[in-house]
Chain A
Amino acid sequence: MKPAPFEYHAPETVADVVGLLAEHGDDAKPLAGGQSLVPLLAMRLTRFEHIVDLNRVDELFGVSLDNGGISIGAMTRQAAVETDTAVADRVPLLHLATPHIGHFQIRNRGTIGGSIAHADPASEYPAVMLALDGVAEIASASGFREAPAAEFFESTFMTAVAPDELLVALRFSAWDQPAGFAFDEIARRSGDFALAGAAVGIGTDAAGRINRAAVGMLGVGPTPLRASSVEAALMGLATSDADPAEIGRLAAEDMDPIGDVHASVEYRRRAGSTLVGRVLANALAQVNTEAGNG
């Protein structure tokens, strides 16, 4: 199980990266943490004539404060996201989701940008990005552009990033209101891709009425999905009045599962909506705690 030959490039600036991508187009592939790409290369399930290694592009690394939110460089390791205090403070859902990604050895190399650009529908960050309306910053030889999460995930493993473009950063805004967040997933084993998972954020007004609901789902469709039926049902409810199990069941309507060797369509729908209810309950409990503390 050895990869096919390729030409290796190790640029040090984004400008050089996008130059290489412009030059080689479809024949080039950016290499981020490599935790998904290298196995595919090793099994010769995919091959590229040019591999453009991003690991020496310093400007792609790190978390910075951004207008009340944060901006995370695409090459920021998942392990760095996991321990970053600004992430934990301002985007708790990202912090809660990270330990569910693979294992610590994977997170030491894996990057947030790699995970989002790979767009595996069963992975964690894409669902969080979708739930939180994160924004992707994309560079190309012709300049920079932005893509909101809702337009980013086009289909399985396909995103708004064109072959000659590079995902350079992700932006998330903080929630400036009483809020609760929770993340969980069902996986066959510790560290496996999720059979189904949910990323939930609940925001309320001062009176404890839900005025913001963000429910992202993973593993239950060709892309990460929003549970918009659940979100709609939550709006305007007092957190104490919401029956999470009941509301969670609505998520089944928002799913478009694909069956595979690990779980059927029916399983993902049933267990996934149960899980949405449970994660919702946890998020609601967090809001109540915050309110109680306040």
Chain B
Amino acid sequence: MADQIPLSMTVNGQTRRGLGEARLTLADFLREQAHCTGVHLGCEHGVCGSCTVLMDGEAVRSCLLFAVQADGAGITTVEGLAPDDETLHPVQEAFRDCHGLQCGFCTPGFVVSVAAFLEANPDPSDEEIRHGISGNLCRCTGYQGIVAATRQAAAVMKGSGQS
């Protein structure tokens, strides 16, 4: 087996250390060594967006990064968005309110992507929302609830000054 490289990154505020081959993807590291099983693998070739995480604040596909590339970085996964175990992030709350999910498999990637999208576009039009979330695939909802959730989250986050 190839060389194991020591890895260390801050995941959802906690230092996570591990070992992996150079070819270990960031997604697999997060799932297998950082217990972030909310990072979902829907295609492993960068199209579906289910594995989206924030790396140093930017939304990225974690299946298209090697863990070694994220060594030293700060990673936020869907598990790290909610402020505590009882409270949801406004985007998560909006997905629940608006039926923005059914099977829930694509949801972590959408939630992270929408949070990042609203950070950059706090007051998007419907058309901007539809293009903004078009880098994530959902097969259950027909996107109706996801668009509505993004609208609601934008309004809530603007109102509370979160964005």
- In the complex they form, whether A and B have CB atoms below 8 Å apart is answered with yes
Listed in ascending order, the chain A residues whose CB lies under 8 Å from chain B are 1-8, 10, 34-35, 38-39, 41-43, 51, 53, 55, 79, 102-106, 108-109, 189-191
Which residue in chain A gives the minimum CB-CB distance to B113? A105
Flag if B134 contacts A103 (CB, 8 Å).
Answer: yes
- How many chain B residues touch the partner (CB < 8 A)? 31
Whether A191 pairs with B46 at a CB distance below 8 angstroms is no
Among the stretches B65-73, B87-95, B98-106, the one at the interface with A is B65-73
B1: nearest chain-A partner, CB-CB: A5
Are B134 and A191 in contact, CB atoms less than 8 angstroms apart? yes
B65 surroundings in chain A (CB, below 8 A): 34, 38, 109
Contact B60 A42 (CB under 8 A): no
Given contact pairs A39-B46, A53-B69, A105-B61, a sample of 13 additional A-B residue pairs in the complex whose CB atoms are under 8 Å apart: A1-B44, A2-B28, A4-B23, A7-B2, A7-B22, A10-B68, A38-B46, A55-B69, A102-B135, A104-B59, A105-B135, A106-B135, A108-B60
Query: Contact at A105–B60, with CB atoms within 8 Å?
Result: yes
Residues of A within 8 A of B61 (CB): 35, 105-106, 109
Residues of B that sit less than 8 Å from A by CB: 2, 5, 21-23, 25, 28, 44-46, 49, 52, 58-61, 63-66, 68-69, 113, 116-117, 120, 130-132, 134-135
How many pairs of A and B residues are in contact by the CB < 8 Å rule? 82
Nearest B residue to A189 by beta-carbon distance? B134
B60–A109 touching, CB < 8 Å: yes
The 7 A-B residue pairs whose C-beta atoms are closest, nearest first, are A103-B135, A8-B22, A39-B45, A190-B134, A1-B44, A108-B58, A38-B64
- Which A residues touch B116, using CB under 8 A? 104-105
Q: Is the CB of B45 within 8 A of A6?
A: no
The contact of B64 among A34, A189, A190, A191, by CB within 8 Å, is A34
Contact residues in A for B60 (Cβ distance below 8 Å): 105, 108-109
Also in contact, A3 and B23, with CB within 8 A (given A104-B59, A104-B117, A105-B52):
yes
Q: How far is the CA of A102 from the CA of B132 in the complex (A)?
A: 11
